[in-house]
Structure 1
Amino acid sequence: MIVRTLQECEQSNRRIVSPDGNWESTRMQLKEDQTGYAFNITTIYAGKDFFLHYKRHFESVYCISGRGEIESKVDGKVYPITPGTLYILDQHDPHMLRAFEELKLACVFNPPLTGREVHNPDGSYDLEAAPIEA
């Protein structure tokens, strides 16, 4: 059994801040845990608007707090994000993510993240980023 708290993870090298200043993500569960998926608590800063396209990962995102929207770049549909909303990127969906208020999101990735991922210029993550060093 693995037990971790968000607070202890936030105070460790599991907390990643994006180089572009759009978000931070606390990687609570990673590939090294050998469960087949990763779990993060991610904060999207208020007023941020950016393109994402997970070409090698599937992601499920549950909104804990805040307000924003996701826009599909495939069909142009826009979906509001508010507490209690789940969106699932099941088709490697290219999308815009907008945070009108700070968004706090619970995210699950498959395949699991290794820990140091930040977005490439095309909005994706590498399949095997460098793992977090203990």
Structure 2
Amino acid sequence: MIVRQLQDARQTSRRIKSPDGNWESTRMLLKEDNMGYSFHITTIFAGADFRMHYQNHLESVYCISGEGEIESLEDGKIYPITPGTLYNLDQHDRHILRAFKELELACVFNPPLIGNEVHNKDGAYELHADTVTE
């Protein structure tokens, strides 16, 4: 059994801050935990507006608090994000995430992250050589 407290994890190397200052993420579960996915609590700071394209990962995101929107770059549709919203990037969707008010999100990635990833120039996390997609 794995039990972790968010406030404790935030005091370790599991807390990652983006180089651009748009977000920070505490990685509660990682590849080393052998669950087959990673689980993160991520804060997107108010005013953030950035493109992402998870080419190597699928992601599910649940909004705990805040207000924003996600825009699909595939079809131009815009979806509001408010507490209780779940969105799933099940097609490696290219998208823009905007935070009008600070967003606190619970995120699941498959395959799992190893922990130190930040977005590359394409808005993706790199896939590590030892990671097998499911």
Q: Please state which band the TM-score falls in when normalised by the shorter chain.
A: over 0.9
Q: Specify the SS of the correspondent of 1:100.
A: strand
Shift of 1:6: 0.3
Shift of 1:20: 0.5
Q: Distance in 2 between matches of 1:7 and 1:35?
A: 21
Q: Distance in 2 between matches of 1:101 and 1:35?
A: 32
Q: Which amino acid aligns with 2:43?
A: T
Shift of 1:104: 0.1
Identity %: 74
TM-score if structure 1 supplies the norm length?
0.95
Q: Distance in 1 between matches of 2:35 and 2:55?
A: 21
Aligned position for 2:49: 49
For residues 115-134 of structure 1, the aligned pairs below 5 Å read 115-128=115-128
Structure 1 runs not aligned, ≥5 long: 130-134
Q: Distance in 1 between matches of 2:5 and 2:107?
A: 16
If each structure's strand is expressed as a fraction of its own residues, which one has the higher value?
Answer: 2
Aligned position for 2:59: 59
Q: Specify the SS of the correspondent of 2:124.
A: coil
Shift of 1:69: 0.0
- Residue-pair matches, total: 129
Aligned position for 1:132: none
TM-score if structure 2 supplies the norm length?
0.95
Q: Distance in 2 between matches of 1:5 and 1:103?
A: 20
**Residues 14-37 of structure 1: CA deviation (Å, up to 9, x unaligned):** 000000100000000000001100
Q: Specify the SS of the correspondent of 1:7.
A: helix
Q: Which amino acid aligns with 2:111?
A: P
Q: Distance in 1 between matches of 2:127 and 2:29?
A: 16
Q: Specify the SS of the correspondent of 1:70.
A: strand
Q: Specify the SS of the correspondent of 2:101.
A: coil
Aligned position for 2:88: 88
Aligned position for 2:35: 35
